[in-house]
C-alpha cells in the first residue's frame, strides 16, 4: 500500500472512529487527540508535530478569531433566558398557530432567536420546556422534539443573510464581504428550507401519530403550570430586531468614503444583550447578575472549546499526505464551479462534524481557487454558508448529541431519523437551490 492510499485509509478510519466514539458518549477532546494521532501516523506526519503544531494551530486559531462572537452571542442568549424573553417569544408563536399546528411553532421560535443572534445551544435549552409542554398538550410523540429543535436552530436561520451568527462571520472575515452577501438567493434558499422542513416535520409527526404513537413522558420531565410571569412577547423581540438592524445597516466612513456596518458583530450582540436587560430587567433576579455573567463566560468557553477540538482534528487531517489529493478530487468535480464549492464544503463540514469548524477550515482553503476562477466573493460566501449546514449534522455533531441525549434525553435510535431528514437532507435541498440560482443568475445582489 503506497503512502497516499495509507493516508486515505487513515482518514477514513479516524472519521469512522470519531463517529463511533461520539455515539458512545466519549469526551470530544479525547476523541480529537486519539483520531488526530491515527491521521498523523498514517499520513506521514510526525506525531509530536501533528499535535503540538498542526492540532494546536487549528485549536488556537479558531479560538482567537471567534471567541468574542461566541461570548457575546451566549450573553445575549443568557439575557433572553433569565428574563423569560425566549419563552415569551415561543409562547407568542404557540398562541398564533394554535394547538393543531403548534409543532411548527417550535422551529419557528428557534429560528427567530437564531436569526436574532442567540446561540443554538442556548436556544435549545430555552425552548425545550415550551416544546415539551406543546407536545404533551397536543399528544405528539416526544421523540420528535430533538428534530424540531435542531431544525429550527441549525438550518434556515443559522445561515440566512444578515444573521449575526458565526457561520456568517467566518466567510465575511475571510472574503471581505458583509453578512448580507448573496441576499436574494440566500433568502430564497433559506425560505425553501423553512417551507420544506416545516411541511416534512408536520408530515413525520402526523404519520407517527396515525400509526398509534402518543406522548410518553419521561421521569425527568417537568411541566409548567402556566402561572410563570413572563414579559410581553413583542417586547422580547425588540433586542433581537435591533441587533439584526445595527449589524446590517451600513454607513459611509473613511476617505475615500466606503460603506461599513454601523457596528461590528460582537458589538451588535453586546448592545442586544444590554437592551434585553433594560427592557426586561423587572423579570430578573438582579442578585444573580454576576452569576449569570459568569455562566455566560463559562458556557461560551465550553461551546467554542468543543468546536476548537474538532477544528484541531480537521487541521491535522488538512496536513495529512492524502488531503491535497482529496481536495483536488473534490475541486475537480465536473460541472458548474459552485457544485464543487458545495461538495467541498459539505465534505469538510462532515469531517469536522461542525458547520462553523468546517467553515473555518474550508473558506481559506478553497476560496482562493474559486475566486481565481471568477466566482464572486458574495456568491462564494453564501454558497459556503448554506452548504455548511448539511453534512455538519451527522450523528457525531456535538450540538446534535447535546440536544438529543443531553437536553431531550432521547436516543439516536429513536430521534435521529427525523433529525437527519430535517437537518441534513433539507439543507442539502436548500444548497442545491442556491447553487442553481447563483449559476443561472450570478449578478443578483
Looking at residue 85, its pLDDT comes to 86
The answer, yes or no, to whether the previous bond of 112 is cis (omega within 30 of 0) is no
User: By C-alpha distance, which of 229, 138, 155, 240 is closest to 192?
Assistant: 155
Q: Return the pLDDT at 278.
A: 93
- Residue 198 or 99, more confident: 198
Is residue 362, in this structure, part of any structural domain at all?
yes
249 occurs within a structural domain: yes
For the purposes of burial, counting CB atoms within 10 Å of the CB of 259, is it exposed (0-12), middle (13-18) or buried (19 or more)? exposed
Distance separating alpha carbons of residues 313 and 95, to the nearest angstrom: 45
Segments forming the whole domain that contains residue 348: 3-440
pLDDT at 226: 59
Examine residue 445 and state whether it is found in any structural domain, yes or no: no
Residue 58: inside a domain: yes
Write down the residue that cell numbers 411553532 correspond to: 105
pLDDT of residue 77: 79
**Which pLDDT score is estimated for 76?**
84
> Residue 303: inside a domain, yes or no?
yes
Angle at 320 between CA 317 and CA 321, to 5 degrees: 150
Residue 347 lies in a domain: yes
Is the pLDDT at 23 greater than 80, yes or no? no
Please give the mean pLDDT across all residues of the chain.
86
- Residues 6+ away with beta carbon under 8 Å from 308: 58, 59, 60, 62, 63, 357
Number of domains forming the structure of the chain: 1
Confidence of residue 99 (pLDDT cuts 50, 70, 90): low
Angstrom distance (rounded) from CA 13 to CA 10: 5
Which CB contacts under 8 angstroms, 24+ apart, belong to 277-285? 277/79, 277/83, 279/231, 279/235, 279/236, 279/238, 279/239, 280/79, 280/83, 280/84, 280/85, 280/231, 280/235, 280/236, 281/83, 283/83, 283/84, 283/229, 283/230, 283/231, 284/82, 284/83, 285/82
What is the percent of the chain with per-residue pLDDT over 70, rounded to a whole number?
95
* Within a domain: 244: yes
327-358 pLDDT per residue, tens: 777 777 777 889 989 998 998 888 777 888 88
Crossing angle for the helix pair 233-248 and 85-97, nearest 10 degrees? 110
Global pTM value = 0.81
Residue 121 — pLDDT band, cuts 50, 70, 90?
confident
Strand spans (E) along 378-417: none
Give the residue with greater pLDDT, 145 vs 314. Answer: 145
Task: Give residue 358's pLDDT.
Answer: 85
pLDDT of 255 > 60? The answer is no
434 vs 192: CA distance, rounded Å: 10
Q: Which residue in this structure is represented by grid cell 436569526? A: 115
The mean pLDDT of 263-290, rounded to a whole number, is 86
Q: 176-227 pLDDT, tens per residue?
A: 898 899 999 999 999 999 999 999 999 999 999 999 999 998 887 766 655 6
Instruction: Output the pLDDT for position 190.
Output: 96
- Please check the confidence at residue 435 and state whether its pLDDT lies above 90: yes
* 112, part of any domain: yes
Of 98-107, 139-148, 197-206, 228-237, least confident by mean pLDDT is 98-107
Amino acid at each position: 500500500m503506497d503512502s497516499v492510499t495509507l493516508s486515505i485509509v487513515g482518514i477514513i478510519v479516524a472519521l469512522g472512529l470519531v463517529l463511533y466514539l461520539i455515539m458512545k458518549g466519549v469526551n470530544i477532546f479525547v476523541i480529537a487527540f486519539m483520531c488526530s494521532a491515527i491521521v498523523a501516523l498514517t499520513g506521514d506526519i510526525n506525531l509530536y508535530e501533528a499535535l503540538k503544531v498542526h492540532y494546536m494551530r487549528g485549536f488556537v486559531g479558531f479560538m482567537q478569531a471567534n471567541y468574542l462572537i461566541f461570548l457575546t452571542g451566549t450573553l445575549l442568549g443568557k439575557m433572553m433566558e433569565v428574563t423569560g424573553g425566549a419563552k415569551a417569544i415561543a409562547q407568542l408563536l404557540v398562541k398564533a398557530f394554535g394547538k393543531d399546528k403548534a409543532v411548527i411553532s417550535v422551529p419557528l421560535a428557534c429560528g427567530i432567536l437564531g436569526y436574532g443572534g442567540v446561540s443554538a445551544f442556548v436556544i435549545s435549552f430555552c425552548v425545550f420546556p415550551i416544546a415539551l409542554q406543546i407536545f404533551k398538550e397536543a399528544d405528539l410523540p416526544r421523540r420528535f422534539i430533538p428534530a424540531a429543535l435542531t431544525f429550527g436552530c441549525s438550518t434556515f436561520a443559522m445561515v440566512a443573510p444578515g444573521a449575526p451568527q458565526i457561520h456568517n462571520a467566518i466567510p465575511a472575515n475571510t472574503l471581505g464581504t458583509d453578512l448580507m452577501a448573496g441576499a436574494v438567493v440566500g433568502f430564497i434558499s433559506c425560505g425553501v428550507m423553512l417551507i420544506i422542513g416545516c411541511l416534512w416535520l408536520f408530515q413525520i409527526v402526523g404519520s407517527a401519530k396515525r400509526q398509534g404513537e402518543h406522548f410518553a413522558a419521561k421521569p425527568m420531565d417537568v411541566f409548567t403550570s402556566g402561572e410563570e410571569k413572563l414579559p410581553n412577547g413583542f417586547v422580547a423581540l425588540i433586542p433581537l430586531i435591533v441587533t439584526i438592524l445595527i449589524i446590517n445597516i451600513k454607513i459611509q466612513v473613511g476617505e475615500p468614503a466606503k460603506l461599513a456596518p454601523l457596528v461590528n458583530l460582537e458589538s451588535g450582540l453586546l448592545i442586544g444583550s444590554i437592551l434585553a436587560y433594560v427592557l426586561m430587567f423587572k423579570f430578573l433576579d438582579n442578585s444573580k447578575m454576576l452569576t449569570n455573567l459568569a455562566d455566560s463566560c463559562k458556557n461560551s468557553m465550553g461551546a467554542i472549546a468543543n468546536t476548537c477540538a474538532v477544528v484541531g482534528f480537521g487541521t491535522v487531517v488538512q496536513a495529512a499526505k492524502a488531503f491535497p489529493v482529496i481536495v483536488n478530487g473534490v475541486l475537480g468535480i465536473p460541472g458548474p464551479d459552485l457544485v464543487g464549492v458545495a461538495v467541498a464544503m459539505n465534505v469538510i463540514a462532515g469531517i469536522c462534524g461542525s458547520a462553523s469548524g468546517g467553515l473555518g477550515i474550508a473558506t481559506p482553503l478553497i476560496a482562493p481557487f474559486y475566486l481565481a476562477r471568477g466566482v464572486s466573493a458574495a456568491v462564494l460566501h453564501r454558497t459556503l454558508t448554506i452548504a455548511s449546514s448539511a453534512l455538519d449534522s451527522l450523528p457525531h455533531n456535538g450540538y446534535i448529541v447535546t440536544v438529543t441525549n443531553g437536553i431531550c434525553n432521547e436516543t439516536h435510535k429513536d430521534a435521529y431519523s427525523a433529525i437527519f431528514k430535517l437537518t441534513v437532507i433539507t439543507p442539502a435541498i436548500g444548497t442545491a437551490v442556491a447553487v442553481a440560482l447563483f449559476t443561472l443568475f450570478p449578478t443578483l445582489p
